[in-house]
């Protein structure tokens, strides 16, 4: 409980988690890179109850769409669609034994994250990322090979699990290590 006006001002002058602001997420979503936001909503790839925005000085400066979802279930779906010749060129970077450690573990799907451009470079994304890590045993996500994939692998310590083609796009699945 906030005890004074001074304490309240101090609390809002630090970046902190707040309820998800879907309008800001949509505004920052790059459909050229990630596909249709409406498709994400229709496919229910995130859970509004656990997704968060990042607020600073009474302004939303970032957002993180998350879902509790098993990476292994998604891998099974990918293998199915490769067998149906819908997805192509599946390549695993880990073996079956490695994947077995994820059985019966709680996965957190990192569906979409953003920080407003003027606030980047201050490690504010780590506030959102660390929150996601609290929700399950591991965090995973899908991305196209660009600077975001390198960020997840090099700066957040994820490993490349697999890669496949969807149409002309290459998709990479990365995960934190258990």
DSSP-based three-state secondary structure for 120: coil
Measured from the Cβ of residue 55, the count of other Cβ atoms closer than 10 Å reads: 18
Report the mean per-residue pLDDT for the chain: 88
Mind listing the pLDDT tens digit for each residue in 99-135?
Answer: 999 999 999 999 889 999 999 999 999 999 999 999 9
In this predicted structure, the answer to whether residue 70 has a pLDDT above a threshold of 60 is: yes
Listed residue (25, 173, 158) closest to 90, CA to CA: 173
Instruction: Give CA–CA dist 105/33, Å, rounded.
Output: 30
Task: Give alpha helix (H) positions in 5-113.
Answer: 5-12, 22-28, 31-34, 37-42, 71-83, 96-100
Q: At CA 43, angle to CA 77 and CA 80, rounded to 5?
A: 10
Residue 10 banded pLDDT, cuts 50, 70, 90: low
Residue 2 banded pLDDT, cuts 50, 70, 90: low
In this predicted structure, the answer to whether residue 84 has a pLDDT above a threshold of 60 is: yes
Instruction: Give CA–CA dist 152/158, Å, rounded.
Output: 6
Q: Higher-confidence residue: 9 or 140? A: 140
Instruction: Give CA–CA dist 153/150, Å, rounded.
Output: 5
Residue 160 banded pLDDT, cuts 50, 70, 90: very high
Mind listing the pLDDT tens digit for each residue in 32-62?
Answer: 555 666 676 666 778 999 999 999 988 999 9
């Amino acid at each position: 409980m906030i005890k004074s006006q001074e304490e309240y001002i101090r609390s809002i002058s630090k970046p902190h988690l707040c309820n998800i602001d879907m309008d800001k997420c949509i505004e920052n979503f790059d459909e050229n890179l990630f596909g249709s936001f409406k498709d994400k909503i229709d496919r229910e790839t995130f859970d509004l109850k656990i997704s968060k925005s990042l607020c600073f000085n009474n302004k939303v400066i970032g957002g993180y769409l998350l879902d509790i979802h098993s990476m292994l279930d998604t891998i099974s779906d990918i293998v199915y669609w490769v067998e149906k010749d819908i997805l192509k060129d599946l390549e695993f970077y880990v073996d079956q034994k490695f994947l077995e450690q994820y059985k019966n573990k709680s996965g957190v799907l990192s569906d979409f994250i953003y920080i407003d451009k003027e606030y980047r470079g201050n490690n504010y994304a780590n506030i959102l990322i660390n929150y996601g890590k609290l929700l399950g045993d591991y965090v995973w996500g899908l991305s196209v090979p660009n600077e975001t994939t390198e960020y997840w692998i090099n700066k957040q310590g994820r490993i490349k699990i697999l890669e496949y083609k969807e149409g002309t796009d290459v998709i990479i699945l990365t995960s934190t290590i258990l």
